[in-house]
Amino acid sequence: MSIFQIRPNYSSLARCAPITEKPGTDRAMRVAIQRARRGKKAAPFGQQQAFDSAIAKLVRAIPVDAQVGDWFANESPIPSVKRRWKKILLNPAVLAIALAVAVIGGVFVYHVREHLRDFPGADKARRLLSVATSTRSVLLDPLQTDAGALSDLFFMKHRLEHYDIPAEFADFRTLGSRVFDDDEVHGVAQIWVVEKRMQFFLFPAGKNPKDGSVTDFSDWRFVELEGWTGAVQQRNGVCFMAAIRGREKDLAPYLEKRKQ
Partner 1 sequence: MTGDASKAQAALQDTVREAALRSARDEPPSDRLWFFRDARWRCLAVSEQDLQAEPGILEEEAEISPGAPMQIEKLDPNQLAVWISAAPEPQRSALSLFYLDEFSLREMLVLLEMTAGELSELISSGRRQFQAWLDAATPYEGE
Residues that bind partner 1 (CB under 8 A): 1-3, 9, 12-13, 15-16, 18-20, 22, 24-26, 29, 44, 47-48, 50-59, 61-63, 65, 67-68, 71, 77-79
Q: How far is the CB of 50 from partner 1 (least distance, A)?
A: 5
Q: How far is the CB of 35 from partner 1 (least distance, A)?
A: 14
| End-to-end CA gap in the chain | 78
Task: Give whichever of 25 and 236 is closer to partner 1, judged by the CB atom.
Answer: 25
Q: How far is the CB of 42 from partner 1 (least distance, A)?
A: 13
Q: How far is the CB of 27 from partner 1 (least distance, A)?
A: 12
Q: What count of other Cβ atoms lies within 10 Å of the Cβ of residue 214?
A: 17
Q: How far is the CB of 53 from partner 1 (least distance, A)?
A: 7
Task: Give whichever of 59 and 156 is closer to partner 1, judged by the CB atom.
Answer: 59
Task: Give whichever of 84 and 249 is closer to partner 1, judged by the CB atom.
Answer: 84
Dist CA 120 CA 174 (whole Å): 28
Task: Give whichever of 20 and 144 is closer to partner 1, judged by the CB atom.
Answer: 20
Q: How far is the CB of 6 from partner 1 (least distance, A)?
A: 13
Task: Give whichever of 28 and 131 is closer to partner 1, judged by the CB atom.
Answer: 28
Task: Give whichever of 83 and 210 is closer to partner 1, judged by the CB atom.
Answer: 83
